[in-house]
Amino acid sequence: MTNSIIVLVAAALMTAAAAAWTLRAYRSAGGGHAWLALASCGVVALTALTTYLTVGRPELPDAPIAARLEALRHRDPTTYTPEETLAVLDRAAKDHPADPRPHVFAGQILLSQNRADEAARQFDAALRRDPRSTEAMMGLGRAMVGAANGRVTPEALAQFRQVAALTGDPAPWIYQAMAAMQENNTADARRLWGEAYARMAPDDPRREMARRMSAEQTMQ
């Protein structure tokens, strides 16, 4: 059991790192809705978590859990589908009801599949277990943006503000700037883009985008 938790922690770190770098690349390319940048992270989570996964194949719905487990354990882990991974994470959540991480991983995979409403439920479940999980807060905010077709709703904005108060991550500031732009609040948008820029590492590919967006707000 302890080894399984250790593997899950390692997978969490891998997924978080992938999310950060993917979002950077996506933003630098001029992408639209930031939550879509998590799509590739589902692949990372899928691979990283396979050593932890101990639940059976969803395509055997009538088989007992033991039989499903045995079928999956004889499979090449790299062949697991997202649905199989979600089934495994569901089992992990049941085995560890106080652990928010299976819900965070499930939410990330669901976001990668554009299943924003389902992702939001998973992130909400994670927050019920750990109200200070910044990963879950960011995930819930992104899921809310996805469900609103790219609009940063007041509820999503509240999540991003909480993350901004707890971490040095520029991502929540980017979302706050987007919300200000949606409200045509140029002064706040300029300030928030500046806050995002100030938190970006020198090699962050989003720096030019943040600088340009801040300058554009100044000219309006």
**Tens digits of per-residue pLDDT, 67-110?**
765 676 677 767 778 887 888 888 889 889 999 999 999 999 99
Rounded to the nearest 10 degrees, how much is the dihedral formed by the CA atoms of 113, 114, 119, 123?
100
Residue 24 burial by CB count (10 A; 0-12/13-18/19+): exposed, middle or buried? buried
C-alpha span between 29 and 205 (Å, rounded):
9
pLDDT at 182: 95
Residue 215 burial by CB count (10 A; 0-12/13-18/19+): exposed, middle or buried? exposed
Question: Averaged over 14-23, what is the pLDDT?
Answer: 47
**Angle at CA 190, nearest 5°, toward 189 and 195?**
95
Among 217, 194, 212, 168, residue whose Cα is nearest residue 30: 212
Tokens of 171: 């991502």
> Is the pLDDT assigned to residue 192 strictly greater than 80?
yes
**Whether the predicted model's global pTM rises above the 0.75 cut:** no
| Most confident region among 22-26, 134-138, 209-213 by mean pLDDT | 134-138
Listed as own residue / partner, the contacts of 69-77 with beta carbons closer than 8 Å and 24 or more positions apart are 77/47, 77/50, 77/51, 77/53
Question: Averaged over 1-26, what is the pLDDT?
Answer: 44
Q: With H, G, I as helix, E, B as strand and everything else as coil, classify residue 144.
A: helix
Q: In whole angstroms, how far apart are CA 32 and each of 9, 56, 193?
A: 31, 37, 16
Higher pLDDT, 68 or 52: 68
Give 98-156 pLDDT, tens digit per residue: 999 999 999 999 999 999 999 999 999 999 999 999 999 999 999 999 999 999 999 99
| Half-sphere exposure for 157 (CA within 13 Å, toward CB) | 13
Q: Which domains does the chain have, with CATH numbers?
A: 2-156 (1.25.40), 168-220 (no CATH)
Amino acid at site 76: D
> Is the pLDDT assigned to residue 183 strictly greater than 70?
yes
